[in-house]
């Protein structure tokens, strides 16, 4: 429902696989957040993670009040 907090932990190798096979990403759906997630430059995030950047990398708020945040721990 609205206001749910969801944490998803993904191995870096999976992210690399998804980025190198764009067909995999195009078929994925994330419910109401799909449109917001399509606006995120995951290649740039991957590069930041590869350089060792930690913490909050992305925060996006939609007009209807949904927020997507991406952290690296």
pLDDT tens-digit profile of 9-35?
Answer: 778 888 788 778 766 666 666 666 556
Give percent helix, percent strand, percent coil of the chain, each to the nearest 5.
40, 20, 40
Q: How many Cα atoms are found within 13 Å in the side-chain-facing hemisphere of 29? A: 2
Average pLDDT over residues 47-56: 89
pTM: 0.59
């Amino acid at each position: 429902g609205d206001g749910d907090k969801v944490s998803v932990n993904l191995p870096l190798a999976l992210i690399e696989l998804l980025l190198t096979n764009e067909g995999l990403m195009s078929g994925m759906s994330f419910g109401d957040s799909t449109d917001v997630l399509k606006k995120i430059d995951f290649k740039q995030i991957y590069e930041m993670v590869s350089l060792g950047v930690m913490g909050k990398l992305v925060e996006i708020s939609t007009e209807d009040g949904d927020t997507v945040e991406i952290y690296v721990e």
